[in-house]
Structure 1
Amino acid sequence: MDSEVARERALDAAEELFYGRGVRSVGMDDVRTASGVSLKRLYRLFPAKEHLVAAYLERRDLRWRGRLARYVQEHAEPERRILAVFDWLERWFGEPGFRGCAWINAYGELGAVSPLVAELVRAHKRAFGEFLDDLVAEAGLPAALGGQLLLLAEGAMVTAGVTRSAEPAARAREAARALLRAR
């Protein structure tokens, strides 16, 4: 197995385990067993568990933001694109195995002890905020709305993760709709 295949298999296993069980409860042995990548090779690819966690978060970030952007771009009207963010969140929250926001979860587990993880979480949240800011700008709406939408979306993520319900996205969408009407 070449290094790229081993890396992808390790990341696939890590993503399933870290997201499903939490980062701290998963050891490198668990990743080895789930991926079929030897422990020696795993440590060559990721010299410390923190490096594996960082690679997992980085890869998940690209996938998550890509899926969101593709969904939102399916809508032509700028204000509809804003509401589409919340439609997409509702779909995501309803997926089998949804366990909340991977970055919020990772920050809760490691943010105080891993500057690397804390920075990756901040970068993800910053990028999501910038995405919302861009949607607000495209719609010709006041810039402050982007931050308000971010708080609605983030609150929905936390609530959905705790309640295991997609309903927080619907409530956040209605609050976003009210904000749009108020502008």
Structure 2
Amino acid sequence: MRPNKRDELVRKAMEVFYRDGFHATGMDKLVVETGVSKTSMYKHFRTKEDLILAVLRLRDESFRNRILRRVEQIADTPAGQLIATFDAFKEWFEEDDFRGCMFLKAAAEYQDASHPIHVQAAEHKRVMLEHLTSLARQSGAHAPELLARQIVLLQEGAIVSAVLLKNGNPAEDAKVAAQLLLDAELTRKNAALH
């Protein structure tokens, strides 16, 4: 398989894993769904887990690029971008093929914290937290690390609620809570300066 065929396989496998889960999707199902023979799959991926890791890397890159780009379109200040993440999430929640967070699913299906798939899923969350911490710091938050962790908790809760409730309201509710947290942090910072 040429590299572009490999990339196509990873993209198609990502759709199947996202829709049906990792353990529920066997190689036979991937052969049918992707149109790629088992022999060709195993030329590039020794195991299903290797394919899952490639899928998670692609999902990480495409999801972060998409969400962060959308956030920058919505808001042009660090504080505004912290809050705009919930607008971008709301749009994601309202997509027809929304099935929740692939990384939460991966961590739930591969619960051993040392398993490479769990590690890859956790790395996505770590990078997202790092970005939010940077925005919180740039926004002038009194405790940027704490604010970023709180916003992540709101995001994760909104994702899970959106899956269960099948609507975008959790993003709106979480956005209101995030704004209150941000306002409190900025007020604390200003009080500390006086």
Task: State the TM bucket, normalised to the shorter chain.
Answer: over 0.9
**Residue by residue, what CA displacement relative to the aligned partner does 1:54-99 show, whole Å, maximum 9, x if unpaired?**
1101100000011111112222122211111010011111111111
RMSD: 1.5
More displaced stretch, 78-87 vs 156-165? 156-165
**Residue by residue, what CA displacement relative to the aligned partner does 1:101-154 show, whole Å, maximum 9, x if unpaired?**
001011111223870111001101101101110110111112121111111111
Partner of 1:73: 72
Partner of 1:16: 15
Give the distance between the partners of 1:120 and 1:159, measured in 2 at CA: 23
More displaced stretch, 22-31 vs 166-175? 22-31
Partner of 2:84: 84
Distance 1:109 1:165, change over 3 A: same
Partner of 1:130: 130
| Contact 1:152/1:172 (8 A) holds in 2 | yes
Partner of 1:120: 120
- 5+ residue gaps, structure 1, are none
More displaced stretch, 111-120 vs 74-83? 111-120
Deviation (angstroms), 1:162:
2.2
More displaced stretch, 39-48 vs 2-11? 2-11
How does the TM-score come out when normalised to structure 1? 0.94
Partner of 1:174: 176
The letter of the residue matching 2:127 is A
Give the distance between the partners of 2:62 and 2:4, measured in 1 at CA: 18
- 5+ residue gaps, structure 2, are 186-194
Give the distance between the partners of 2:164 and 2:21, measured in 1 at CA: 14
Partner of 2:6: 7
| Contact 2:141/2:147 (8 A) holds in 1 | yes
Match of 2:150 among 135, 148, 151: 148
Partner of 1:42: 41
| Contact 1:111/1:117 (8 A) holds in 2 | no
SS at match of 2:30: helix
Partner of 2:99: 99
Deviation (angstroms), 1:28:
1.0
Partner of 1:52: 51
SS at match of 2:99: coil
- Percent identity, aligned pairs only? 35
